[in-house]
Structure formats: structure tokens, C-alpha cells
Structure 1
Amino acid sequence: MSVTGAREGTGARAISPGRFAGKVVVVTGAAQGIGRAVAARVAAEGADTVLVDRAELVHEVAAELAASAATDGTTAVGVTADLETFQGASAAVEEALKLRGRIDVLINNVGGTIWAKPFEHYGPEEITKEIQRSLFPTLWACRAILPHMISQQGGVIVNVASVATRGVNRVPYAAAKGGVKAITAALALEAAPHGIRVVATAPGGTEAPPRKVVRGPQPDSDREKAWYQQIVDQTIDSSLMKRYGTLDEQAGPIAFLASDEASYITGSVLAVAGGDLG
């Protein structure tokens, strides 16, 4: 989960220059938050990046990265797609291949709690929307990219799950992110013979700038605000470090798992939540 906080943490730190040199990295959900921070991080480390999001904002972000990368020969481009459908995921992959010719790394970052409330207060349509938002983009993107990575006999898929699989007031979101963890474990078994690694991080609470494109309705009534505060309190209590993380602290582990430095890691889910294992 992410939350607005005082520390924006939008800039990459502890950069490893050239770590992704010669690689094409696709980052989904790249217009804001963790996805944007990851795209900036891998671009700074030499990747040719393809930023995917359903928000038009992604083109602005890609242009900013392209401008900053122009001096070192790397490139960044934005692609708009609705990854909640297989058609959208397939179109995004095809566009990335058209633009770059290959894809070495896919980072699946789409997802996020839409509502925050006890499960008995969720309507059936809300439950469906939570699953569509936080499970299907990863499932469809993995399915769309897999034939290409099999054909090139190599690649890395990094999924972004969550430690909220054990958290209050987010049962549908927890179910979706639990599915992301399951995708990671099961697909790693199938993909390993083709030289493909499949890994994941499980972020905890993360401070981020205010979203330019909101996920859903904000807490309005006193009861809704209290439900959301329960999430914040539980997140901090569950962290041994008793705080939210920064975007940098999420982008770093994702970049590591995506890199050749993690070449002997697959099927693993790394909790990045200050000691909360979910």
C-alpha cells in the first residue's frame, strides 16, 4: 500500500551505473508511485525503458526520463494500455516489442487498494473491482510476455505483491495480492527451464506524493476515515521499524531482483516492509 507522507523519496539513490545496460525493461503502473520510482531507477542504471499505464500521465513521465537519459544514450517511452484485460496486456507487450525489438525484464506493478473497510461492508461489485485491479494486470501481463521470453530463452519477471495479505480492512485486495504471490511461485516452476526467472517483492506501507490520478473514492465519512486509520495503525504496528517506507526503499529491492545480481533467485517473494513479513 502507499500513502501520502512527508518524505517523497522519488529520486533514485545508491545507483549502480550500467547495471541494466543493453537491457529493455518494461514497467507497468509507471505513471505514479512505486512504478514511477522503479522506472527512474532502472533508467538511471542504463535500461531502455518502456513505461506502461492506463493514465495518459505516463507519456509525461516517459518524456521526463527520456530527457534526463538523453546524454547517456538510453531511451524511455510511454505506452497506454488497460492491463485489466488480456487484450490490453497483449497490446502493451506487442507495442513494446515493436518499439524495442525485445523485452528482457517485465516489472508488474499495477495494483492498489480501492476501498478500505471491513469485509462485511464490501459489495459484490466492489470485490470484483478490487480483484480486477490488483490481480488480473499481473496475470495477464505474465501471460502476454511469456511466449516472447520463451522464444528468446531468457528474461526476468518481477511482480509487486504486498504484505497486506495479512492486514485489516482489505480482504479483497489481500486476496488479489495473495494471488500475485501464487503466480510468482507457480510460474517460476514452469519458466525456469526456459531461462526465465520469476520473483516478487511484497511492499509494506510506502510514503508517496499525492496521486495525480486517484485509484478510487477517498475516505469521506468519519466511519470511513476511522477504517482507513486502522490500516495505517496496523501497518506501523506490524513493522519492526515502526514507520512507512519510501519509494526509494521499494525501488531498490525491485531493481536488484530484476538485475543479473539476482541470477540465482527465482520463485521467491521478498517482503520489503520494515520487518513485517505479511
Structure 2
Amino acid sequence: MQRLMQRFPQRFAGKVIVVTGAAQGIGRGVALRAAAEGGQVVLVDRADFVAEVAAEAQGAATAGFVADLETYEGAQAAMAFAVERFGGIDILINGVGGAIRMRPFAEFEPAQIDAEIRRSLMPTLYTCHAVLPHMLRRGGGTIVNLSSNATRGIRRVPYSAAKGGVNSLTQSLAMEYAQHNIRVVASAPGGTSAPPRRVPRNAAGDSEQEKAWMNEAVQQVTESTFVKRYGTLDEQVAPILFLASDEASYITGAVLPVAGGDNG
């Protein structure tokens, strides 16, 4: 990170950036580094400790905002807050998502399938729609969606379907809005090592059988990479912020795999 900072000390100076899913994991890392590189950053999450994360970016222009992005009203409110606070939106980085359960597809209940799609597709769909009027008024912008290389993988078929939807959304939206100077790209992370979550992915907890299925998925993810390991948070954050930056100005409609060689 220090080498990156020395090379691009103010890569996002003058840019207003909204980062969703910013309370923990990859989203937290993206938000803090974007702020360190000069961005005015709105951190959005439904966890109320997102304000604590915003406060970690000492000396930077940041603000936390609590919203449930599984609702369209939450997405609208988050974008409106960013515009009111900083005057507009230049970059949207969509980090909300994540598999809730790991199990064979035949073992998923209908409500569980719906929950996976609602968590890992709808927030991105809603925020992309909600941010467009603000970017159109501003004369352009950049949207970076977090997809996943798990569009191919075991024990998480509904999540895979949701992330496949994110890829299609990225490509179609990029084609439709390029004429308006709006770039839309995606990063597709693979398995990533991160500190324990403050909010668990599955609030109900995992049974012993579900833990066994999770281990099967972890083994598949690790063995599918060329490098046979999980990535680090820094290895995910850096490509996301490259895609968000002006350095990537000729890249749109692309989904960049960041998964140690496993392209999903």
C-alpha cells in the first residue's frame, strides 16, 4: 500500500466516491484507501458501525451512511445523501454481496434462494439505477461493481447466479451509457482472506453439515486457483481502485478476474 501511495498520492483528489458494503471486508479496505488517496468518500452499509470506519480515515473527507441496499429506497437515500454532503457523485463502488449459505443446490429452500439473489444482485442493480441521474447531471462518472469468480463453483449456485447477473448488468450498462461518459466495469474477486466478520454472513449460524459443505467449497476455491491460495484484502483493493481511477479511462464493460488464475 505504501508503494501505491508514493506513486499515486492524490489519485482521487476532487472525486466524490460512494462505497457500498463499506463496514467490513473488501469494501472497508476500498473506502479507506480511496480516502487516503484524496477522495471524498461516503461509506454506505446497513451496519451502524460504518460510522466508526469512516472515522478511521483521519484527516480525510468521509461520511458514513446507514442504509439497507436490498431496498430501492435505501439505494436512493444513499445517493441523495452523497450529493447533499459533497455536491455530486463521480464514482460508485458496489461492494454489497456475499454468499449466505453453502450447500448443494438441491438442499436450498426457495426462501433461501430468494435471499441469495436479494443480497448479491439487487443492491448493485438498485444503486446503479439510483446513481445514474446524478452522474448524468454531472456529465459522466464511473461505476465499479464487485462480482465474483464464483460464477463457476460448488455449494453456492444461487450466489453464482446473482454474480452472473452482476456481470451482465456491468456489460449492458456500459454499452448503454458510454455515450454519456459513464464507464461501468467490474472486479471479480476469488477467495479472499479477511478478518472475522463483525456481522456474520449467516445470522442463523451454520449446522455441522453446513460447515462440512463450506469446507468443500473452500477446498474447491483453493484448488481451482493456479497459485493454490486465497488472496489478501490488499490484493483485491488495488485492482478495484485501479478500475475506478482515471488510469482505466479506456476500460469499460470489462469484468476483471482477480482470483489467482481461476477466471470463474
**Class of the TM-score when normalised by the shorter of the 2 chains:** over 0.9
> With structure 2 as the length reference, what TM-score do the two structures score?
0.97
Does 1:102 find its partner at 2:88? yes
Equivalent-residue separation in structure 2 for 1:47 and 1:257 (angstroms)? 15
Q: 1:13 & 1:42 partners in 2: Cα distance?
A: 15
1:112 to 78, 93, 98: 98
For 2:247, the equivalent position in structure 1 comes to 261
1:194 & 1:255 partners in 2: Cα distance? Answer: 22
1:250 aligns with 2:243: no
SS in 1 for 2:193: strand
CA separation of 1:24/1:232 partners in 2, compared to 1, >3 Å: closer, same or farther?
same
Aligned to 2:4: 14
- Please say if residues 13 and 248 of structure 1, whose CA atoms lie closer than 8 Å, have aligned partners that are also in contact: no
Q: Does residue 220 in structure 1 map to residue 207 in structure 2? A: yes
**What is the distance in 1 between the residues matched to 2:114 and 2:66?**
23
Is 1:166 aligned with 2:152?
A: yes
Q: Does residue 45 of structure 1 match 2:37?
A: yes
Q: Matched residues in 2 for 1:204 and 1:13: separation?
A: 24
Counterpart CA distance in 2 for 1:195 and 1:95 is 23
The answer for unaligned runs of 5 or more in structure 1 is 1-10
CA distance in 2: counterparts of 1:237 and 1:12, whole angstroms: 31
After TM superposition, the structure 1 = structure 2 runs for residues 63-82 of structure 1, keeping only pairs within 5 Å, are 63-65=55-57, 68=58, 70=59, 74-82=60-68
Which residue is equivalent to 1:157? 143
Deviations, residues 158-186 of structure 1 (Å, cap 9, x unaligned) = 00000001000000000000000000000
1:87-136 Cα distance to aligned partner (Å, 9 max, x none):
11001000111111111000000000000000000000000000000000
Q: Deviations over 1:54-88 (max 9, x none)?
A: 000101101111xx2x1xxx311100001011111
Match of 1:206, SS?
coil
Residue 191 of structure 1: how far off its partner (Å): 1.0
**In the aligned structure 2, how far is the partner of 1:132 from the partner of 1:273?**
24
TM-score (norm 1): 0.92
Tell me the distance in 1 between the aligned counterparts of 2:40 and 2:124: 21
* Separation (CA, whole Å) in 1 of partners of 2:82 and 2:3: 27
In 1, the alpha carbon distance for the partners of 2:127 and 2:158 equals: 20
Q: Are residue 182 (structure 1) and residue 168 (structure 2) matched?
A: yes
CA RMSD of aligned residues (A): 1.0
1:194 aligns with 2:180: yes
Aligned residues with identical type, % of pairs: 60
How far apart, CA to CA, are the structure 2 residues paired with 1:20 and 1:92? 20
Secondary structure (helix, strand or coil) at the match of 1:95 reads helix
Greater RCO (Cα-Cα under 8 Å, separation 6 or more): 1
CA shift digits 1:169-211 (9 cap, x unpaired): 0000000000000000000011100000000000000000000
Deviation, structure 1 residue 12 = 6.9
Give the unaligned 5+ runs of structure 2: none
